[in-house]
Chain A
């Protein structure tokens, strides 16, 4: 009985530490966005359906993330789902407190404005909360070796999260559109090539996949196509989704939308390729 009590109090303490880490992670990940003016404006000017879709997408994303990089050696879907919702709770509370202190939300604002602003921020915040519990919670590399080797789709999923990690910081800003207007097609083409080269350099040099080196028998072109090119396509799709969510594609012709995706794709592809390092 007493042993039981000790065990459960240890677990409670572990959990409290885990929650503290989750708050820290949510803050680290979401702070740039909490302090970005566009994110406040998008919070209430966004089409409600797009925000709903973002909130719905967030749930399987977090469950998947918990599966691959989650903390505590989660093994069951139930635990991953629990992790995901803990991350959401932490992110929502963190966003509400910080936005209120910043006076971005206030008691005299409409419910739609307040909820929209918090809901939008809960997306990056919950990713940060989940990652932090996974990352800060493990003791060094020993735990890392223990983690599951992602399959190929899993590897692409992680790249996608990596793309969100860097892409979300800049996706809502006016600069994405501004840069795409300033750049001529040749510069955009150069940026695509630069993105691919940087991505491949990361893919090639980082232990890959799953903590081991990439298979020796995999040739340059196979590796390039399997991870870099396909990864870049995933990145571009994520960029298009983010731009659409943030209303950057509305009333914009396909050429300008593509340009903006390429611009946003640059930081996102670096994030995707470095996913193994930063996640």
Chain B
């Protein structure tokens, strides 16, 4: 192996350009080519994201599922969807059980991160049965990461 390298080294000095390409085994060149493809694809995608991405504010919509009993309380599972490309960190979500104008019970949950154009799930616990009240679930605030 070493002798081979030594010999190749001499050849390379004579004819650098062409011998270099031929010096690596074909498998290695194949994997290297895969590496080139991968990094070009990653850089290309990131450039695309950078150019299409506009820094705005996150727009979050929340959909709730029907309440389910959970131990001594009830849980309302929700899906938070970020419709923009802007990430919301420490997204605070509040749920209220209302009867007319009075708030019977509130519950809160925090999503660590809700990336742009993504969805995350969570749940809110209520001691009262949410099915018997008007349920409102809405985002309260977030951090910019």
Contacts and interface: CB of A to CB of B under 8 A. Distances in A.
A89 B20 contact: no
28 contacts: A11-B25, A15-B25, A15-B27, A45-B87, A45-B145, A51-B46, A52-B46, A73-B2, A75-B8, A76-B12, A78-B21, A81-B32, A82-B28, A82-B32, A84-B32, A85-B32, A86-B32, A86-B35, A89-B31, A90-B31, A109-B115, A111-B45, A112-B85, A112-B115, A115-B45, A118-B42, A122-B39, A247-B145
A89 B23 contact: no
Nearest to A62: B35
Report the 9 A-B pairs with minimum CB-CB distance, sorted nearest first: A78-B20, A85-B35, A89-B35, A48-B50, A45-B145, A85-B32, A88-B35, A89-B34, A82-B32
User: Taking chain B's interface residues, is the majority helix, strand, or loop, or is none over half, making it mixed?
Assistant: helix
Contact of A76 (B16, B42, B115): B16
A16 B26 CA distance: 12
Given A45-B87, A45-B115, A76-B12, 15 more contacts: A41-B89, A48-B46, A48-B49, A51-B46, A72-B1, A72-B5, A76-B16, A79-B23, A82-B24, A84-B32, A85-B34, A86-B32, A113-B115, A115-B42, A119-B42
A110 B115 contact: yes
Contacts of B21: 78
Given A41-B113, A89-B31, A79 B20 contact: yes
A118 B119 CA distance: 19
Nearest to A116: B46
Contact of B31 (A58, A86, A115): A86
Residue among B16, B33, B50 with max Cβ neighbours from chain A (10 Å): B50
A233 B31 CA distance: 36
B128 to A, nearest CB: 33
Residue among B33, B35, B119 with max Cβ neighbours from chain A (10 Å): B35
Interface in B4-42: 5, 8-9, 12, 16, 19-21, 23-25, 27-29, 31-36, 38-39, 42
Nearest to A146: B2
B119 A92 contact: no
Contact of A86 (B5, B20, B28, B45): B28
B119 to A, nearest CB: 7
A55 interface: yes
A115 B115 CA distance: 13
A55 B39 contact: yes
Contact of A112 (B32, B43, B49, B113): B49
Contacts of A108: 119
A19 interface: yes
A101 interface: no
B19 to A, nearest CB: 8
A169 to B, nearest CB: 21
B106 interface: no
A172 to B, nearest CB: 13
B117 A110 contact: yes
A87 B117 CA distance: 32
Residue among B36, B85, B119 with max Cβ neighbours from chain A (10 Å): B36
B136 interface: no
B4 to A, nearest CB: 9
Contacts of B118: 109-110, 113
A44 B115 contact: yes
A145 interface: no
